Amino acid sequence: MNFIFKLLGDALYMIPVLLISLTVHEFSHGYVAYKLGDPTAKNAGRLTLNPLKHLDPIGTLMMIVAKIGWAKPVPVNTRYFKNPKQDMVKVGIAGPLSNIMMAFIFVVPMYTFNIIHQLGTMGSVGTWLATFFYLLYRVNLNLAVFNLLPVPPLDGSRVFYGILPDKYYFSVMKYEQYIGFAFLLIIILSPSILSGVFNVLTYPFDYAFGAFGRWVVGLFF
């Protein structure tokens, strides 16, 4: 019962965080593809900031429970691109970059409301805002790093394929489904491995953004 109450409590925080983070992530993919000449996402109604168009039920649940998940992939048709291989790199990296930008933006209010929470000047509202902006920061950072992993079907695989020499491209593509399945098994059976990878990969961003956030907030408190 306590687990259920905790899950519901987490959902109250995570749902608005996910609505913002996943929506901007998927919109960024669609917007870059559209600017490169592909109207597929726009025609499918995905070139929008309406979160209901982007959320995947299982991926959203995973984000609430495990803090790692996914949204519905934005459809892309490479036939519209002038340079399909290079343009797919741009489309693939757009989502993670949007999350990195949001983490950078949210780090200042995260530290600000953490201090306000410690001072107790806003009561329970300050506590909620401190937690909310912490999750906005952390979820966006995690989404960026997770999606940059060069494993299908994550965004990082699009970047990886884009820089892979042509003579190896089709050889790797033949095993794409198997690689993706193996990765899913690692997430399910050995989450500690993924957690260790995350700690290493997020550290540089966390360190740099944290230093910036503390410096800005230190100017006012």
Per-residue model confidence as pLDDT tens digits over 7-62: 456 667 778 888 899 899 999 999 999 999 999 999 999 999 998 888 887 777 76
CA-wise closest residue to 31 among 85, 84, 76, 79: 76
Helical spans, DSSP H, in the chain: 2-35, 40-43, 57-66, 84-119, 123-148, 155-163, 166-173, 176-189, 191-218
Domain boundaries, the chain: 2-218
Look up 176 and say whether it is catalytic.
no
CA-wise closest residue to 61 among 133, 9, 11, 131: 11
On the question of pLDDT at 3 being above 50, the answer is no
On the question of pLDDT at 84 being above 80, the answer is yes
pTM listed for this prediction: 0.85
More confident residue, 106 or 70: 106
Average pLDDT over residues 194-208: 85
Banded model confidence at residue 216, pLDDT cuts 50, 70, 90: very high
DSSP string, 96-114: HHHHHHHHHHHHHHHHHHH
Say what the pLDDT of residue 124 is: 83
Per-residue model confidence as pLDDT tens digits over 113-164: 999 988 888 888 888 899 999 999 998 998 899 889 888 878 888 888 888 7
Q: Single out the catalytic residue among 14, 23, 26, 108.
A: 26
Say what the pLDDT of residue 173 is: 67
